[in-house]
């Protein structure tokens, strides 16, 4: 199911038009972890490019593969503090290692409409049920009719399945089955922030695709939001049936509301 975001979200890093990343790559969680471990917060796109191409921090065998890695990581994550979506990810990335698979999936879903279009298929599949690349390919074909040929769809199906495995929503190697991803207060912070950037407010923040990607019941997500609030990662208030969530920690500079 194709999920479009409002125009306001496009200004901070979301994308509505697919660029084909999952035709040849996954969410590249291992590469992202290596890159963010060696580059300081506030690094520029040139810094990330130099680390990948000149220093080969991702340990790729060829120059062409290193250049392709820059291209694909930039498509998925932005790799620039000028992009609010990435800057917020970078701010909270080191705070909780267990949150990183979901953080990567959330950001990549915001940037890759193909991955986002498969979310409903994954999330409505019962835990323990098998998920095949062909089912994923069918979901992409239905969301973007006439856009991709059979070979591309097959490639996308395999790579998207691997991405959902890296995030924890699927498990297994040869045969992937629906599992439960590990939701945490930090992942919850970022998911609610993405919803906020899509002009969602109040209780509705807990009913968006971003909240659903946390793979947790609403009461647990609210508990994680409260825990994140105690740590100062967001501000969460619930009184008289009214919920207010704000993000002073992640907003700064001209983007602050």
Tell me: do 189 and 178 sit in the same domain. no
> Band of the pLDDT at 257, cuts 50, 70, 90?
low
How do residues 30-76 score in pLDDT, each as one tens digit? 999 999 999 999 999 999 999 999 999 999 999 999 999 999 999 99
> Band of the pLDDT at 256, cuts 50, 70, 90?
low
Tell me: do 96 and 210 sit in the same domain. no
How far, in Å, CA of 54 to CA of 69, rounded? Answer: 13
Tell me: do 133 and 193 sit in the same domain. no
Angle at 46 between CA 41 and CA 47, to 5 degrees: 40
Which residue, 182, 198, 217, sits at the end of a domain? 182
Which residue, 147, 165, 182, sits at the end of a domain? 182
Tell me: do 129 and 211 sit in the same domain. no
Tell me: do 202 and 161 sit in the same domain. no
What token pair was written down for 234?
């967001």
Does the pTM exceed 0.85?
yes
Answer yes or no: are the C-beta atoms of 148 and 170 closer than 8 Å.
no
How far, in Å, CA of 22 to CA of 114, rounded? Answer: 8
How do residues 121-147 score in pLDDT, each as one tens digit? 999 999 999 999 999 999 999 999 999
How far, in Å, CA of 130 to CA of 175, rounded? Answer: 7
Tell me: do 207 and 172 sit in the same domain. no
Tell me: do 98 and 221 sit in the same domain. no
Q: How many CA atoms lie within 13 A of 134 on its CB side?
A: 2
Candidates 18, 187, 210; CA nearest to 89 is 187
Angle at 160 between CA 159 and CA 163, to 5 degrees: 90
Where in the sequence is the domain holding 50, given as residue range(s)? 1-182
Tell me: do 67 and 151 sit in the same domain. yes
**Looking at residue 44, which CATH number applies to its domain?**
1.10.3540.10
Tell me: do 6 and 128 sit in the same domain. yes
How do residues 186-235 score in pLDDT, each as one tens digit? 999 999 999 999 999 999 999 999 999 999 999 999 999 999 999 999 99
Which residue, 165, 182, 199, sits at the end of a domain? 182
**3-state SS string over the chain?**
CCCCCCHHHHCCCCCCCCCCHHHCCCCCHHHHHHHHHHCCCCCCHHHHHHHHHCCCCCCCCCHHHHHHHHHHHHHHHCCCCCCHHHHHHHHHHHHCHHHHHHHHHHHHHHHCHHHHHCHHHHHCCCCCCEECHHHHHHHHHHHCCCCCCHHHHHHHHHHHHHHHHHHCCEECCCCEEECCCCCCHHHHHHHHHHHHHCCCCHHHHHHCHHHHCCCCCHHHHHHHHHHHHHHCCCEEEEECCEEEEECCCCCCHHHCC
Tell me: do 64 and 15 sit in the same domain. yes
Tell me: do 40 and 101 sit in the same domain. yes
Quote the mean pLDDT of the chain: 95
Tell me: do 167 and 228 sit in the same domain. no
Answer yes or no: are the C-beta atoms of 210 and 225 closer than 8 Å.
no
Q: How many domains does the chain divide into? A: 2
How far, in Å, CA of 155 to CA of 118, rounded? Answer: 14
């Amino acid at each position: 199911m194709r999920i479009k975001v409002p125009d306001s979200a496009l200004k901070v890093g979301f994308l509505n038009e697919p660029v084909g990343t999952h035709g040849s790559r996954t969410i590249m969680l291992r590469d992202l972890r290596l890159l963010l471990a060696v580059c300081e917060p506030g690094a520029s796109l040139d810094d990330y490019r130099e680390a990948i191409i000149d220093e080969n921090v991702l340990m790729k065998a060829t120059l062409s593969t290193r250049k392709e890695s820059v291209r694909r990581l930039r498509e998925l994550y932005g790799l620039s503090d000028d992009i609010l979506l990435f800057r917020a990810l970078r701010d909270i990335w080191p705070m909780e290692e267990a949150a990183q698979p979901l953080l990567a999936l959330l950001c990549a879903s915001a940037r890759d409409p193909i991955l986002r279009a498969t979310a409903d298929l994954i999330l409505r599949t019962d835990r323990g049920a098998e998920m095949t690349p062909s089912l994923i390919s069918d979901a992409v074909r239905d969301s973007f009719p006439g856009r991709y040929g059979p070979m591309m769809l097959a490639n996308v199906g395999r790579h998207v399945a691997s991405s959902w495995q890296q995030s924890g929503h699927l498990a297994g190697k040869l045969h992937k089955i629906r599992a439960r991803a590990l939701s945490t207060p930090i992942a919850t912070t970022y998911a609610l922030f993405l919803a906020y950037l899509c002009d969602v407010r109040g209780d509705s923040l807990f009913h968006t695709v971003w909240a659903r990607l946390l793979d947790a019941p609403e009461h647990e997500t609210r508990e994680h939001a409260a825990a994140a609030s105690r740590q100062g990662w967001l501000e969460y208030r619930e009184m008289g049936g009214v919920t207010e969530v704000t993000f002073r920690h992640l907003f700064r500079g001209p983007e602050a509301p």
